[in-house]
Structure 1
Amino acid sequence: MTLVLILVVPLLLAVLTGLHWYVWRRLVRDTTKPGSRGRRWGTAVFLTGPAFMLTAFVGSFAGLPFQAVRVLSWPAYLWVALALYLLIGLLVGEAIRPVLTRWLRRRAARTATTPQTPAAEPAPVPDQAPTPAPPAPSPVDIGEAPDTRVPDTALELSRRRFTAQLIGTATAVAAAGTVGYGTYGVLRGPRIKRVTVPLAKLPRSAHGFRIAVVSDVHLGPILGRGFSERVVATVNATQPDLIAVVGDLVDGSVSELRSAVEPLSNLRARHGTFFVTGNHEYISGAEQWTEHVQELGLKLLANQRVELASFDLAGVNDVTGESHDDGPDLAAAMADRDPARTSVLLAHQPVFIDEAVKHNVDLQLSGHTHGGQLWPMNYVAGMANPTVAGLERYGDTQLYVSRGAGAWGPPTRVGAPSDITIVQLASRQT
């Protein structure tokens, strides 16, 4: 592990440094004059942003006080999102740059070759002798006329700077607007999404049963008690029959986030609130969190099953628990059940669908992916997960993946709005 860190960390720092240098070069150096105020301020921003980012990352692992991490996290993670979209915008600008530069050159050439219309000479006054023109002054009288033409190199530099400023301004405005709107979308709280899932074995008496799927809240240095209260209010307003919290509830220890999670004790559903661990619970101390959520009134399903009136509800530990001797065990959760009954499984990561299919699970409810959270990261998430968001079928098993209620890292979502999903079960029996 130490050897991996020694090899990976310097490589990662080199890549981050190179990308920041590229963005600074295009956005600051190419758009400003040496020594100008704009260049000094722009360079200061590109030094301060990464400094916050590295300090927050290192501080969270080095045991920096939680309040200090909270202060650092806001500028650090917002810089991550802003830098991503500045980079994307400038890369798009690379395709536009030669076209715009060529157009400016042609426009300048047309202007230079357009003949100037000579001024009309005044009409002579009738019956009056024309006034003779004064003799032209000799070079001795006035000296050589100075050449006022701008050198071609100066024109080219001016043209390039104008192009860089145009692309840089458009990129900065678009990136700031994208991050600002995406952050507003997270902080205002998740919206309700409704999905109907037909199940062949579900009895008619359970038709319309509603499960509120809450995933990836990520209470931590940025999203705190206020956000937790908004999530609880949103869930309770739907009056679900059952609430399923499918992991990644927190990013921090119980002592740090005790106040932030306290509102979860107000979650209300006719058949209760159930919880399974996600990978971030194991990072934050799974044993302490599984104890604390039960103190809040959530029912832990750790490789366990409960038999409700109309279907079986099972839950497994996250696959990350395997490295903590606390991995998922679906066989134990499904042991001795009546296969004629409908089964619904809570499993944090969509990759667990293969096990669900083997055990003839009817419906798996998951999160983990955030729907990619920041476009185009949805394509990266798609390479690691069978389903990034939404409902899909795998054989006789259906998988629903929520985009999650919160956000990890940057409190920003682009192209993947947060949601709390109301999954309504539908019976096919008449």
Structure 2
Amino acid sequence: MVVVFALVALAVVGVLVTANWYVWRRLFRDTTRGPGTARRVGAVVVAGGWALAVGALVAERAGAPFWLQRVLAWPGFLWLALSLYLLLAVLAGEVVRPLLRRFLERRAAARPAARRAAARPADPGELPDPAADPERIPAGTAPPRTPPAGPEQTAASGATPPSPLAVPSRRLFVSRVVAGAAAAAAVGTVGYGTYGVLRGPKVKRVTVPLAKLPRAAHGFRIAVVSDIHLGPVLGRGFAQTVVDTVNSTQPDLIAVVGDLVDGSVKDLGPAASPLARLRARHGAYFVTGNHEYFSGAEQWVAEVRRLGLVPLENARTELPHFDLAGVNDVAGEDEGQGPDYAKALGDRDRARAVVLLAHQPIQIHDAVDHGVDLQLSGHTHGGQLWPGSLVAEAANPTVAGLERYGDTQLYVSRGAGAWGPPTRVGAPSDITVIELASRQA
């Protein structure tokens, strides 16, 4: 097992080193004439960016002093996103590169023909009427021909002929254009994706019909909040934005479905304090996500309870018209605190509709087995950084949105925040208001 892990780790390192060498080559080596400052600066940028990224990841998982986590997090995590899109951009540049080179070659080939056409003697019939221009050279007199300026004439006039080193070759020109476009595209993509996260999640509204829901509960609104990921990057201000957005929807119930934090209560308690201002007629409920088990799940369960949220640890509560249940995340199994569906759902009245809060979409199969009507989940971030959605699709039954599994429906939120890079591309953050609909209405 250790040998397999070592081989996999070695393969991953090899891929990363190769990919970063390729990015450095296209952005720095191919755009310069030879060894020099630009290439050295490029190497420092690429290597230094990855050093900060690894440092940020290690500091967060190792519980380093919070000030150090914050110092490393912004540049380190942003470099992770930027390096991904630099790689994708220079790969796309391989398609553009031969097309641009061919265009320049054709234009260069067309110039001699144009010069020959311009130097062709004019047809006598095309000469203008001398009478129309009294200062014209008299008919029959050949116009003086000015010989091309040679080196002597150029020197005499004071003009300096262009140095061959001052004019980039066609290959160098193409490399610089493609590299500049790739860098601009990557920076623009990451910048816009980061702005989208820091601006805060948008509200998404989805109607979900439930067969067992009584007419009196028609229109019941559940605000689903997942994956806030308070940490060294997203702090108290972001939490307040989430709270304000949730409260603005005036929900009947609030469901916080895991991955609230990336860090200890000691470091992030002040950042989470705005959650005490969540307001809903039937209260706010919480279930753990996998990141709570990286951050001290027991302490965070106690903290959210202190803030006024109701933790559902493999538990169920009976609301006026349906049941609300919650199970722990599967990551809790390593600590003996995994999901217990029998405890949460085993003795309920099956004539009543039940809504289950479970962090990961993969928990849907157990929900189906226990007759759940609707499961609310997060975890996937919708992929967060395209093409991460392709990986998320391979690992989860549903990446985002509403799908049906037998008699059970599953809704997966893309989440309110972001993990690692505070950046989203192709997977905008959301807070979803689920409006339950009774088929009897």
Q: Taking structure 2 as the reference length, what is the TM-score of the superposition?
A: 0.88
**Equivalent residue number for residue 140 of structure 1:** none
Pair 1:87-2:98 in alignment: no
1:229–1:263 CA contact under 8 A, matched in 2: yes
1:103 aligns with 2:106: no
Question: Is the Cα–Cα contact under 8 Å of residues 53 and 75 in structure 1 kept in the other structure?
Answer: yes
Correspondence for 1:259: 270
Matches within 5 A, 1:193-232: 193-232=204-243
Q: Which residue of the partner structure matches residue 331 of structure 2?
A: 320
Separation (CA, whole Å) in 1 of partners of 2:380 and 2:274: 25
- Give 3-state SS (helix, strand or coil) of 2:169's partner: helix
Q: Any idea what SS the aligned residue of 1:239 has?
A: coil
Distance (Å, rounded) in 2 between the aligned partners of 1:112 and 1:244: 72
Equivalent position amino acid for 1:66 in 2: F
The aligned runs of 1:411-430 (5 Å cut-off) are 411-430=422-441
The CA deviation string for residues 369-426 of structure 1, in whole angstroms up to 9 with x for no partner, is 0011111111110001111100111111110000000000000011111111110101
What amino acid does structure 2 have at the position aligned with 1:107? R
Bigger shift: residues 214-223 or 163-172: 163-172
1:59 partner letter: A
Question: What do the CA deviations read for 1:206-263 (whole angstroms, capped 9, x no partner)?
Answer: 0110001010000001000110111111111111111000000000011111111111
Relative distance call for 1:110 and 1:276 in structure 2 (3 A) is same
Give distance in 2, aligned partners of 1:132 and 1:398: 90
- 1:270 positional shift: 0.9
Say whether 1:282 aligns with 2:293. Answer: yes
1:332-371 matches, cutoff 5 A: 332-371=343-382
Deviations 1:53-90 (CA, angstroms, capped at 9, x unpaired): 12222333444311111111100111111111111111
SS for the counterpart of 1:96 is helix
Residue matched to 1:192: 203
Q: Which residue of 1 aligns with 2:154?
A: none
2:345 partner amino acid? M
Question: Residue 409 of structure 1 corresponds to which residue in structure 2?
Answer: 420
Unaligned runs of 5+ in 2: 128-135, 146-160
Q: Judging changes above 3 Å, is the alpha-carbon distance between structure 1 residues 361 and 114 closer, same or farther for their aligned structure 2 residues?
A: same
Instruction: State the 1:127 CA deviation.
Output: 9.9
Q: Distance in 1 between matches of 2:357 and 2:51?
A: 40
- RMSD over equivalenced CA pairs, Å: 2.7
Superposed, 1:88-237 pairs within 5 Å as 88-116=88-116, 117-118=118-119, 125=138, 158-237=169-248
Cα distance change of structure 1 residues 247 and 120 upon mapping to structure 2, 3 Å threshold: same
Structure 1 distance, partners of 2:260, 2:386, is 23
C-alpha change, 1:132 and 1:9, in structure 2 (3 Å) is closer
Matches within 5 A, 1:365-404: 365-404=376-415
Task: In structure 1, give the amino acid aligned to 2:19.
Answer: L
Specify whether residues 131 and 18 from structure 1 end up closer, same or farther in structure 2 by C-alpha distance, changes over 3 A only. closer
Does the 8 Å CA contact 2:63/2:263 hold for their aligned counterparts?
no
**Amino acid corresponding to residue 369 of structure 2 in structure 1:** K
Give the secondary structure class of the aligned counterpart of 2:354: strand
Of all paired residues, the percent bearing the same amino acid is: 62
| Structure 2 letter corresponding to 1:213 | V
Relative to structure 1, the CA distance from residue 4 to residue 261 in structure 2 (aligned partners, 3 Å threshold; closer, same or farther) is farther
Corresponding residue for 1:137?
A: none
Contact 1:33 1:39 (C-alpha < 8 Å) held by counterparts: no
403-412 or 101-110, which deviates more: 101-110
Contact 2:255 2:284 in 1 (8 A): yes
Question: What is the TM-score normalised by the length of structure 1?
Answer: 0.90
Q: Distance in 1 between matches of 2:286 and 2:336?
A: 19
Alpha-carbon distance in structure 2 between the residues aligned to 1:407 and 1:132? 76
- Corresponding residue for residue 64 of structure 2: 64
- Please give the alpha-carbon distance, in whole angstroms, between the structure 2 residues aligned to 1:249 and 1:207: 30
CA offset at residue 149 of structure 1?
12
